[in-house]
Amino acid sequence: MNGLASLGSGSRGNGTLVRLGETCVLVDCGFTLKQTEMRLRRLDTAPGEIAAIIVTHEHADHARGVAALAQKYAIPVFASYGTLKASLELMVGRPFDSHQAFDAGAVSVTPVPVPHDCREPTQFVLEGGGARIGVISDLGRITAHIVEQYCHCDAILMESNHDRQMLVRGRYPERLKRRIASEVGHLSNEQAVGFLEKIGHPGLNVVIGHVSEENNHRDLLEACFEPLRSGVSSLSYATQSMGMNWTLIAPKEALAL
């Protein structure tokens, strides 16, 4: 089975399950151990099924639960050199070169450097089982390299963090507003739509995630993304509280039959 699921996605915690063939990988773990175990049960996934945890960056909403989960269930952890140096809890992790692919079990992982305000942030494209799945959030702008890496995915979980007008008019301090809207912050709905327009194709399964509960709204997301639904295979939304159930992807060989 190839598939993509979310434990939860937003500023209070993130975790994305990617299953390719017989290998299941967890991208980030921003929840407590108890919360993570509960959210995994909801997705019918046992912690012992996870072959590796790969970490995008050291911010707490992506990394706070990594060490506890890894230590309890003896799961190997992979993170960039910069992320490991920036997080004492992740010092037991295995470093990777952010410009070179590596293997996590039977899955090939391609790190994709992104502009974000931390030490050495990366997002990932994972390949195996005849499918290619991308995970991308926590970036302030889209580069040509990012488009190149994600344009041939079969499924993607991608950030659409905020509506610009809601952010400007909202109650966040001005310093935080500037950080979110900056080139090392988070993608707006408008930026995310532009990204999907560049990488979208009829076989792509799209999950919209890392949506701000303070500066975005489901109606705004749907107004932005629903016009693109006909150009992709599926379009769904991951939430902070419930994440998103499995989106299954058929291997290319099966689609050709």
What's the CA angle centered on 102, arms 121 and 243, to 5 degrees? 55
* Predicted structure pTM score: 0.96
DSSP state of 214: T
Tens digits of per-residue pLDDT, 54-79? 999 999 999 999 999 999 999 999 99
Tens digits of per-residue pLDDT, 166-189? 999 999 999 999 999 999 999 999
Whole-angstrom distance, CA of residue 189 vs CA of residue 57: 22
pLDDT at 252: 64
pLDDT at 1: 85
When pLDDT is averaged across residues 226-244 and rounded to a whole number, the result is 97
pLDDT at 257: 41
Tens digits of per-residue pLDDT, 159-168? 999 999 999 9
Q: Helix (H, G, I), strand (E, B), or coil: what is residue 249?
A: strand
pLDDT at 49: 98
